[in-house]
């Protein structure tokens, strides 16, 4: 009996440690735009996709696929679709050792019907959640990421032979962060975004 109680206590403590750990990971994750040249282990990338695989989705539709681009020539081509001379904001993408292309697959019938009736873009919501699961796992693996929403979808679809009925949802750059100054998170105050029981 005493042993069981002690085990219970230990489990409870562990749960608290896990919760603390999650908040720390959320605080640690930030958009990384400078990377070391160091190669990223495929096992770590697979862990990130595993974390994304476990994310929730409307009607459990799981409308996603992850193309991991880690071959230098492929990566060069993919990064060309993320910036141009007029819009150089994403120039850093080509310095990332890995670019993940997150494909938005058509949702299952219940989620598509539900989305139509409720006028919600469930596929985009699902994709965003899965992408963040990926990024948080990457943080816990010591990797840096940046989600990229600005890219030339047509170029990417042609180059990566993505079928017409699929969309490129987002890209994620991945790599070991260049060690530099710690960036402070700019966020609205908690009081601006929380209320209880009423708007």
Query: Which residues in this chain contact ligand FMN in the complex, by CB under 6 A?
Result: 30-31, 89-90, 146-150, 170, 185
For the sheet with 64-69, list strands across it: 64-69, 98-104, 167-175, 144-148
> By C-beta, is 46 or 87 nearer to ligand FMN?
87
Helix or strand or coil: residue 99? strand
Do residues 100 and 175 lie in contact, with contact meaning Cβ atoms separated by under 8 Å?
A: no
First to last CA, the chain: 48
- Min CB(166)–ligand FMN separation in Å: 18
For residue 190, give both structure tokens. Answer: 């908690």
- Min CB(145)–ligand FMN separation in Å: 9
- Min CB(101)–ligand FMN separation in Å: 13
- Min CB(11)–ligand FMN separation in Å: 33
Residues 6+ apart with CB under 8 A from 165: 106
> By C-beta, is 185 or 198 nearer to ligand FMN?
185
Residue with the shortest CB distance to ligand FMN: 149
């Amino acid at each position: 009996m005493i042993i069981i109680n002690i085990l219970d206590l230990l489990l409870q403590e562990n749960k608290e440690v896990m919760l603390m750990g999650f908040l720390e990971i959320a605080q640690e994750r930030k958009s990384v735009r400078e990377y070391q040249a160091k190669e990223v282990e495929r096992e770590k990338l697979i862990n990130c996709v595993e974390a994304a695989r476990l994310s929730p989705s409307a009607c459990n539709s799981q409308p996603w696929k992850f193309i991991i681009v880690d071959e230098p020539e492929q990566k060069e081509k993919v990064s060309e679709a993320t910036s141009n001379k007029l819009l150089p904001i994403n120039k850093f993408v080509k310095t990332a050792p890995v670019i993940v292309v997150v494909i938005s697959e058509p949702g299952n019938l219940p989620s598509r019907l539900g989305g139509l009736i409720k006028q919600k873009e469930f596929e985009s919501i699902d994709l965003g959640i899965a992408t963040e699961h990926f990024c948080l796992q990457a943080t816990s693996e010591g990797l840096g990421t940046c989600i990229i929403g600005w890219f030339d979808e047509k170029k990417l679809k042609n180059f990566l032979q993505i079928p017409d009925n699929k969309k490129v949802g987002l890209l994620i750059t991945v790599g070991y962060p260049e060690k530099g100054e710690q960036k402070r998170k700019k966020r609205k105050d908690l009081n601006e975004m929380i209320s209880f029981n009423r708007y």
